[in-house]
Amino acid sequence: MYHKIRVVMGKRDDRYTLEDMVEYDEAFVGKATKAKDKNKLKRGRGSQRQAKVAVMAESTVLEDLKSGKLSKSCSYFKMKKIKNLEAKTADALIKEYIDKNSVLQTDMSTTLSDLSDCIEVHVKVISGTEEGRFNLKWVHIAISNLKKHLHTYHMITERMMQNYLDEFCYKLNRRYFGQKLFDRLIIASIYPYWQDCG
């Protein structure tokens, strides 16, 4: 039943595309691995012990009129499990989930070197710099929070990973709904049946 609800959450959020200014980065999160296979798999970045996840965040730059200091607010997130870090994988994700007229902010990864067919404006920054930390602020916060959240489940199989990502994003995108969150989930769950009825 939990997974059926998570699927509903994912389908609901898939109806929306991200617009305006969008941050994009990729993350590696731990996944369940058979004990007999653990010692055979490499460690670190790109390890087979980790699932690859694309993280997208719709953010807006805000300026304090008195001090002139810039900050960023964030509205919606998307997270998708991906098979690899190839350019064609990133291209397909960006075309499907991000409006072409958006300003896309990424790091300097070679995977994301040419996105001219997918997006109107592409801003690339070095992650470790002050500019990089600012431009990619919300995807990095989301990745950090995701990893903490997934630890509560004591390792998740790669086959079910997307369901847990959908649950995390659904709740994150509705973080200000308060007690209305449950009611909205009920509506999202029965919405397809309304459509079938005419």
Beta strand 121-124 with 103-106 is: parallel
pTM for the structure as a whole: 0.85
Average pLDDT, the chain: 87
The pLDDT value recorded for residue 198 is 41
CA 193/CA 29 separation, integer angstroms: 35
Whether residue 23 is predicted with pLDDT greater than 60 in this model: the reply is yes
CA 78/CA 75 separation, integer angstroms: 11
Whether residue 169 is predicted with pLDDT greater than 50 in this model: the reply is yes
**Maximum C-alpha span of the chain:** 60
Q: How far is CA 134 from CA 44, 60, 70, 100, in A?
A: 26, 11, 9, 22
178-192 residue pLDDT tens: 889 888 888 888 865
CA 57/CA 23 separation, integer angstroms: 5
- In this structure, whether the domain defined by 2-189 belongs to CATH 1.10.15.40 is answered with no
Considering only residues 192 and 125, tell me which one the structure prediction assigns the higher pLDDT: 125
Whether residue 34 is predicted with pLDDT greater than 90 in this model: the reply is no
Whether residue 54 is predicted with pLDDT greater than 60 in this model: the reply is yes
CA 155/CA 161 separation, integer angstroms: 10
149-160 residue pLDDT tens: 998 887 788 889
Other beta carbons within 10 Å of 57: 27
Q: Which of 19, 89, 30, 21 is nearest to 54 (CA)?
A: 89
- At residue 136, the 3 state secondary structure works out as coil
Q: Which of 86, 51, 57 is nearest to 160 (CA)?
A: 51
Instruction: Tell me if 70 sits within 8 A of 62, measured CB to CB.
Output: yes
Other beta carbons within 10 Å of 165: 27
Confidence tier at 197 by pLDDT (50, 70, 90): very low
